[in-house]
Amino acid sequence: MSNLVFVYGTLRKNERNHHLLSGATRIAEQAWTNGTLFNTDSGFPILKNSIDIDVVYGELYEVNESQLARLDELEGYYGEGHQNFYDRVVKTIFTDKEIYHAFVYVMTEQQAPMLRRKVEYGDWRVQHFIKKNNYLYYAYGSCMDHKRFEIAGVDQHFQKVVGCGVLDGYTLGFTVQLSDGGRADILETGGVVEGKAYDITPDVIPYLFEREGVASRLYRPAIIDIKLNGAVKEALTFIVVQKEEELTPPDHYSEEILRGGEGTLSPEYLEKIKEKVEILKSKETIV
């Protein structure tokens, strides 16, 4: 018998307890549910169950009974009617493909004194990642265009282009609907996305977060794995929060993507972007 489990802390990919999910099937690495995530002083987060507007981001896995038992042991869950460290409940989990119902380990009353400040952006991995001295930033849209950085007066922060990052399992879309057209997004629906990988430092984060509208929840920060120069590397990127039906991007925005990707992204991939934009234009013309 198999079960679905949503994980949001130390069980996530590349975290210290992820080995307990060895052999499990990952359904989605971009998954989310309602609730509020809190930091603790013990090196792990706690999800407070709620149905409010707060969102917690994590990963969704299919596990068998023995794997679920290992997770129960880690989380101190002994079953209904017992004094559990975490409760295990069923919650609605959202992904780019489908909506699921899965087990989630949530706060019990004995954990209440452990709660500290809320986890920023609802993503436990992000808040730790961006505190490093330097890390990779993965741009797949107009942020590949150096001219935009020059206009904003921040081009000195984006001088270290490491190469073309390849993101497997995702598709480039234009799911942000602004008054003049769509803006780029990545969707975990299969495929491949190419982007520009930069080596950056934390002092550029305020610019990126403002540009991507993180405060207004236009985009959210996320940590992904990209193939880069023969190795797999973690990188910061930004993903659309409220995805709409795709809309043709304005010409100036398409030009920024193509200009920014030239010389780094493959010619074949850039051609696919052109083709996608033309297809979107033709669909809107027909309508």
- The CB density around residue 135, as the number of other CB atoms within 10 Å, is 18
- Cβ neighbors of 51 (< 8 A, separation 6 or more) are 34
DSSP string, 119-135: PGGG-HHHHHHTTSSSE
State how beta strands 171-178 and 161-168 pair: unpaired
Choose, from 59, 75, 188, 246, the residue flagged as catalytic: 75
Concerning whether 245 is annotated as a catalytic residue, the answer is no
Torsion sign, CA atoms 19, 24, 30, 31:
negative
CB 13 within 8 A of CB 28: no
State how beta strands 161-168 and 2-7 pair: unpaired
Tell me how far CA of residue 262 lies from CA of 150, 198, 265, 286, in angstroms.
17, 15, 6, 31
Catalytic residues: 75
